[in-house]
């Protein structure tokens, strides 16, 4: 193990992989390569607190002393041009190479590019990095009207934040509801109503014909209905693309992400992939998935470290997600694929409720709005394979706690 482990990508997955290797007792070299020059930071706050607070700074995932104290060789601003899988070597941008015994690809994803005329105008932005967030923060201070293209989590988080700061925000979504692939219709409609009440204009079943500009800067968008929306800033949030190019050119199997087994090994066993760029067969649904969440990145990183030190397992973490949109904290646990029945708990009129998803009598997922207890109980229930009855769901958190407490020990 003279060359150790090289980790490409210093986001949540990459940093956790480095930390977990040391926690698992790995004593060989650990080299963490980051494409940004920043100390690795938390990304969820970028679409919320960071863009509304001019004094906000990135929140480090770990302090600088962590890397030195654990003998982790963190190399910021380092780009990899090619993987030579046969030689177990990386070719680095600007010259030089780096040998490895094991390689972890934690390359994440990038925003999908809007394929429209005008998408390259100044003021047309997307959010991936703290540099992007700084641009949004700076430019939003000089504009009154903003158009957000895409009604997913990132777009709606940004829309709510900017509207709260006094901007006139319009969200354009091609589908007939917001968050179309992510939550139940009831929750999507609730989010639409709350955002509309807060001053965000939402256009559903609407697409963009072109982005218009003056002197190289965006000035507005033209919708499919012929409406011109003035805007000095346009934010695109139409999904992401996994960063698989390095893996693909190295000959690894790729299918909506880098294909990995239950221990996070790619088709080349000494190369592992984790996080947004990893595609795998999910234990709950039996289908192939690629999940984009901090939880997934963290849990896969921990398993990858165990695999490298010789203690592989089968990835079976319960997936969970969250999003803060205005005054709504959305929390999702489990996957809704295959669900055929939903039960509502709580009252949407009070902005506090959950939707429990079932496949037959089996609990598959819970989606909550401002009901953190339901979410935490859902993580326990899905982890134990326990499915509550409709009566227990109707009884709320106390009834669910009692049902869990009554389960046999072990």
User: How do residues 243-258 score in pLDDT, each as one tens digit?
Assistant: 999 999 999 999 999 9
CA dihedral for 44, 48, 51, 53, sign (positive or negative): negative
Percent of the chain clearing pLDDT 90 (strictly above): 96
Cβ-contact 41, 138 below 8 angstroms: no
Provide the 3-class DSSP secondary structure of residue 289.
strand
Q: Is the pLDDT of residue 201 over 90?
A: yes
Instruction: Give me the mean pLDDT over the 5-29 stretch.
Output: 98
Percent of the chain clearing pLDDT 70 (strictly above): 100
Rounded CA gap, 282 and 284, in Å?
6
Q: Is the pLDDT of residue 325 over 80?
A: yes
Please give the backbone phi and psi of residue 381, each rounded to the nearest 5 degrees, phi first.
-65, -45
Rounded CA gap, 80 and 83, in Å?
8
Residue 284: per-residue pLDDT:
87
Q: How confident is the model at residue 180 (pLDDT cuts 50, 70, 90)?
A: confident
Instruction: Give me the mean pLDDT over the 136-154 stretch.
Output: 95
H or E segment to which residue 138 belongs: helix 130-140
Cβ-contact 41, 58 below 8 angstroms: yes
Residue 58: per-residue pLDDT:
95
Q: Is the pLDDT of residue 356 over 90?
A: yes
Write out the two tokens for 353. Answer: 């409720």
Sequence-separated (6 or more) residues with CB below 8 Å from residue 84: 90, 91, 250
Rounded CA gap, 271 and 86, in Å?
11
- Inter-axis angle of helices 294-308 and 12-23, to 10 degrees? 40
Q: How confident is the model at residue 181 (pLDDT cuts 50, 70, 90)?
A: confident
pTM equals 0.96
Cβ-based neighbour number of residue 55 at 10 Å:
4
Q: What is the pLDDT of residues 91-143, one digit of tens each?
A: 999 999 999 999 999 999 999 999 999 999 999 999 999 999 999 999 998 89
Provide the 3-class DSSP secondary structure of residue 58.
coil
CA-based nearest residue to 328, from 357, 371, 295: 371
The residue written with tokens 């002197």 in the block is 215
Q: How confident is the model at residue 1 (pLDDT cuts 50, 70, 90)?
A: low
Residue 196: per-residue pLDDT:
98
CA-based nearest residue to 41, from 6, 10, 72: 10
> Strands, DSSP E only, in 239-319?
240-242, 258-259, 271-273, 278-281, 288-289
Q: How confident is the model at residue 409 (pLDDT cuts 50, 70, 90)?
A: confident
Q: Is the pLDDT of residue 410 over 90?
A: no
- Inter-axis angle of helices 396-405 and 372-384, to 10 degrees? 30
Sequence-separated (6 or more) residues with CB below 8 Å from residue 95: none
CA dihedral for 286, 292, 296, 300, sign (positive or negative): positive
Q: What angle do CA 332, 337, 338 make, to 5 degrees?
A: 130
C-alpha distances in Å from residue 207, one per residue of 66, 148, 168, 172, 230: 47, 12, 19, 7, 15
For the chain, the 3-state helix, strand and coil shares in percent, each to the nearest 5, are: 30, 30, 40
Q: Quote the mean pLDDT of the chain.
A: 96
Please give the backbone phi and psi of residue 378, each rounded to the nearest 5 degrees, phi first.
-65, -40
Helices (H), 174-243: 185-197
The residue written with tokens 């709260």 in the block is 164
Instruction: Give the DSSP letter of residue 230.
Output: E
Helices (H), 333-389: 372-384
The residue written with tokens 């990304």 in the block is 43
């Amino acid at each position: 193990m003279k060359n150790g482990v090289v980790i490409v990508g210093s986001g949540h997955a990459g940093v956790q992989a480095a930390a977990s290797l040391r926690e698992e007792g790995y004593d060989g070299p650990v080299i963490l390569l980051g494409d940004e020059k920043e100390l690795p930071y938390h990304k969820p706050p970028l679409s919320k607190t960071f863009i509304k607070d001019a004094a906000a700074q990135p929140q480090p995932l770990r302090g600088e002393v962590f890397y030195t104290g654990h003998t982790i060789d963190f190399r910021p601003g380092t780009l990899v041009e090619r993987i030579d899988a046969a030689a177990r070597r990386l070719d680095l941008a600007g010259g030089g190479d780096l040998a490895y015994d094991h390689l972890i690809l934690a390359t994440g994803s990038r925003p999908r590019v809007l394929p429209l005329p005008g998408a390259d105008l100044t003021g047309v932005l997307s959010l991936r990095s703290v540099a992007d967030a700084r641009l949004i923060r700076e430019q939003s201070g000089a504009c009154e009207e903003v158009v957000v293209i895409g009604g997913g989590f990132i777009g709606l988080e940004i829309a709510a934040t900017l509207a709260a700061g006094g901007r006139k925000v319009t969200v354009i979504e091609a589908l007939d509801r917001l968050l179309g692939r992510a939550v139940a219709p009831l929750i999507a409609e609730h989010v639409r109503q709350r955002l509309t009440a807060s001053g965000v204009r939402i256009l559903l079943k609407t697409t963009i014909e072109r982005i218009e500009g003056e002197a190289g800067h965006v000035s507005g968008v033209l919708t499919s209905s012929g409406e011109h929306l003035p805007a000095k800033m346009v934010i695109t949030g139409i999904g992401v693309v996994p960063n698989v190019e390095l893996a693909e050119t190295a000959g690894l199997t790729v299918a909506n992400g880098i294909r990995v087994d239950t221990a996070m090994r790619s088709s080349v066993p000494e190369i592992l992939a984790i996080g947004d760029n990893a595609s795998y067969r999910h234990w709950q649904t039996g289908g192939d998935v690629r999940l984009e969440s901090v939880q997934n990145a963290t849990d896969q990183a921990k398993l990858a470290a165990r695999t490298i030190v010789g203690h592989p397992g089968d990835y079976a973490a319960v997936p969970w997600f969250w999003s803060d949109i205005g005054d709504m904290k959305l929390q999702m646990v489990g996957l809704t694929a295959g669900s055929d029945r939903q039960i509502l708990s709580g009252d949407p009129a009070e902005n506090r409720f959950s939707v429990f998803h079932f496949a037959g009598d089996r609990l598959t997922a819970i989606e909550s709005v401002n009901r953190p207890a339901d979410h935490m109980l859902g993580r326990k229930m899905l982890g134990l394979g326990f499915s509550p009855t409709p009566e227990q769901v109707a009884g709320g958190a106390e009834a669910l706690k009692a049902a869990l407490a009554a389960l046999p020990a072990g």
